[in-house]
Amino acid sequence: MPTRSASAAALSVSALAELISTLQARGYQVIGPAVRDGTIVYSPIERLEDLPAGFSMEQEAGACRLVKRNDGAVFGYAAGPRSLKSFFHPAEIKLISAERDNGTFRIVSDAPSPPRTAFIGVRACEIAAVRIQDRVLLEDRYKDTFYETRRAHAFIVAVNCTAPADTCFCASTNTGPRAREGFDIALTEIVDDGRHVFLAEAGSAAGKELLRELPKAEPAAELRKAAEKALQDAAGSMKRRLDTDGLAQLLYDNFDHPHWDDLASRCLCCANCTLVCPTCFCVAVDEASDVDGRSAERWRRWDSCFTQSFSYIHGGSVRHSPKSRYRQWLTHKFASWSDQFGTLGCVGCGRCIAWCPVGIDVTRELAAFRTSPAAVNSQGGSHD
Ligand code: SF4
Ligand code: SF4
């Protein structure tokens, strides 16, 4: 039966293929999940077959493994190592080039304009992370114009998460598994009893307009119920939890807790956690010139509070020990971020747990401060 409203619809798998081709026809570069290098990452998508149908990822502390599913679900996996941060706030970006010209330097603007991009398969936690980066990079005192141009024309097709990994805890941070805002279209995939269908809901005028063009059916009440149940089951099945009550004060009160030493004895300061984190935004700026002195470039690259050079100030690093660097990261994410930006710096995606080579788990580490609070507050004292 044809649907009367374009706000919600039931889409078949072939309609998903049409969604991709319609976005391409409108000039979007389509980015979606794909199997690459033994995991599932956002990559350019040409057709439906590029999506990871029948694949999932088992994720645990320090481990991520690609596995087969037996139901052919297209989006039956949780967040992979790459987030939308890689696209809106790229790992490296050339800020300027300069060339010597008659005894002076001429700035050459050679940065190509970023393509209009449509993202498919975006999880609720990732949309929450984008909102956090918007707050930091667009809505504070200074605007990051590189971020702004990449973010401005993005079309987002969210997929409500029905298959959280063992590392996920977005239900605790109230950032998933259902996407509630910040998308153009949200899909909930239902695969059961021989059917494979998507409940599609429009979240913007552009999403509604695009949905109108796709072959679809009126979503039956039963489909809506199945989608609701799948999301409730997903939230209930999350194995990790984070108690956010009084978390900031807990960290402020435990600046000298012995657990920081325990953490420092395990942390390699490799920075993986900050690089995979969809909200971490810190960068460093480097300049390099040609050996003949005729040209120079200025690059911006992701940096991390786990590197010693990150806090280098005229003659030394402020955070010279792994303990001080780990404490900075955790306290910023779960305490001072709220003071600065009004939310936690964490959306519960679990990436830092899976991609930490020694399996450090923020949910467990934070719980450790609750079980044996030291209540020794040196108020900004030692940085050891
Ligand atoms: S701190 Fe860890 S769980 Fe939280 S958003 Fe960053 S990567 Fe995800
Ligand atoms: S917590 Fe893990 S991922 Fe982060 S810097 Fe330490 S060892 Fe690396």
| pLDDT tens sequence across 196-218 | 999 999 999 999 999 999 999 99
Average pLDDT over residues 44-62: 98
Q: 24 with 160, same domain?
A: yes
The confidence score (pLDDT) of residue 193 equals 86
Which atom number of ligand 1 is nearest to the Cα of residue 348?
A: 3
The confidence score (pLDDT) of residue 150 equals 95
Residue at 226 is within a domain: yes
Q: Is the CB of 264 under 6 A from ligand 2?
A: no
Cβ neighbour number for residue 328 with a 10 Å cutoff: 18
Q: 212 with 101, same domain?
A: yes
140 or 130, which is more confident? Answer: 130
Q: 85 with 37, same domain?
A: yes
Q: Is the CB of 356 under 6 A from ligand 2?
A: yes
Q: 232 with 328, same domain?
A: no
Give the SS3 label for residue 101: strand
The confidence score (pLDDT) of residue 134 equals 98
Are 352 and 366 within 8 A, CB to CB?
no
Residue at 257 is within a domain: yes
Q: 264 with 327, same domain?
A: yes
Q: 256-304, pLDDT tens digit by residue?
A: 999 999 999 999 999 999 999 999 999 999 999 999 889 999 999 999 9
The confidence score (pLDDT) of residue 379 equals 47
Give the SS3 label for residue 130: helix
Q: What is the mean pLDDT of the chain?
A: 94
Q: Given a cut of 80, is residue 353 above it in pLDDT?
A: yes
The confidence score (pLDDT) of residue 109 equals 73
* Alpha-carbon distances, residue 199 vs 75, 88, 155, 240, 372 (angstroms): 13, 28, 18, 27, 46
In the reported structure, the alpha carbon of residue 277 is separated from the centroid of ligand 1 by a whole-number distance in angstroms of 5
Residue at 378 is within a domain: no
- What crossing angle do the helices spanning 259-266 and 362-371 adopt, rounded to 10°? 160
What is the best residue among 263, 306, 332, 334 to mutate for testing ligand 2's pocket, by most ligand atoms within 8 Å of CB? 306
Residue minimizing CA distance to atom 2 of ligand 2: 356
Q: 16 with 88, same domain?
A: yes
Q: Check whether the bond before 177 is cis (ω within 30° of 0).
A: yes
Ligand with minimal distance to 62 CA: 2
Q: Is the CB of 307 under 6 A from ligand 2?
A: no
C-alpha 263/C-alpha 22 separation (Å) is 49
Which atom number of ligand 1 is nearest to the Cα of residue 173?
A: 4
Q: Where are the alpha helices (DSSP H) in 110-256?
A: 124-137, 145-152, 170-173, 205-213, 221-237, 247-253
Which atom number of ligand 2 is nearest to the Cα of residue 269?
A: 5
Ligand with minimal distance to 277 CA: 1
Q: Is the CB of 78 under 6 A from ligand 1?
A: no
Residue at 383 is within a domain: no
What percent of the chain lies above the pLDDT cut of 90?
87
Cβ-count burial of 203 within 10 angstroms (0-12 exposed, 13-18 middle, 19+ buried)?
buried
Q: Is the CB of 272 under 6 A from ligand 2?
A: yes
Final residue of a domain: which of 237, 262, 282? 237
Ligand with minimal distance to 176 CA: 1
Q: Is the CB of 271 under 6 A from ligand 2?
A: yes
Residue at 215 is within a domain: yes
**pLDDT confidence band for 113 (50 / 70 / 90):** confident
Q: Given a cut of 70, is residue 380 above it in pLDDT?
A: no
Instruction: Provide the domain count of the chain.
Output: 2
Are 364 and 330 within 8 A, CB to CB?
no
C-alpha 170/C-alpha 238 separation (Å) is 8
Q: 329-346, pLDDT tens digit by residue?
A: 999 999 999 999 999 999
Q: Is the CB of 185 under 6 A from ligand 1?
A: no
**pLDDT confidence band for 3 (50 / 70 / 90):** very low
Final residue of a domain: which of 184, 216, 237? 237
9 forms beta bridges with 200
In the reported structure, the alpha carbon of residue 209 is separated from the centroid of ligand 2 by a whole-number distance in angstroms of 44
Residue at 72 is within a domain: yes
Give the DSSP H/E element, type plus range, for residue 262.
Answer: helix 259-266
Q: Is the CB of 82 under 6 A from ligand 1?
A: no
Residue at 351 is within a domain: yes
Are 251 and 318 within 8 A, CB to CB?
no
**pLDDT confidence band for 195 (50 / 70 / 90):** very high
Q: 200 with 169, same domain?
A: yes
Cβ-count burial of 224 within 10 angstroms (0-12 exposed, 13-18 middle, 19+ buried)?
middle
Residue at 255 is within a domain: yes
Q: Is the CB of 84 under 6 A from ligand 1?
A: no
Residue minimizing CA distance to atom 3 of ligand 2: 356
Are 317 and 383 within 8 A, CB to CB?
no
Residue minimizing CA distance to atom 6 of ligand 2: 267
Q: Is the CB of 330 under 6 A from ligand 1?
A: no
Q: Given a cut of 60, is residue 377 above it in pLDDT?
A: no
Q: Is the CB of 366 under 6 A from ligand 1?
A: no
Q: 313 with 180, same domain?
A: no
Which structural domain range is residue 18 located in?
8-237
Are 189 and 162 within 8 A, CB to CB?
yes
Final residue of a domain: which of 208, 237, 266? 237
Q: 228 with 130, same domain?
A: yes
Q: Is the CB of 333 under 6 A from ligand 1?
A: yes
Q: 159-185, pLDDT tens digit by residue?
A: 999 999 999 999 999 999 999 999 999
The confidence score (pLDDT) of residue 111 equals 73
Q: 195 with 311, same domain?
A: no
Q: 90 with 142, same domain?
A: yes
Ligand with minimal distance to 132 CA: 1
**pLDDT confidence band for 384 (50 / 70 / 90):** low
Q: 149 with 259, same domain?
A: no
**pLDDT confidence band for 383 (50 / 70 / 90):** low
**pLDDT confidence band for 77 (50 / 70 / 90):** very high
Q: Is the CB of 207 under 6 A from ligand 1?
A: no
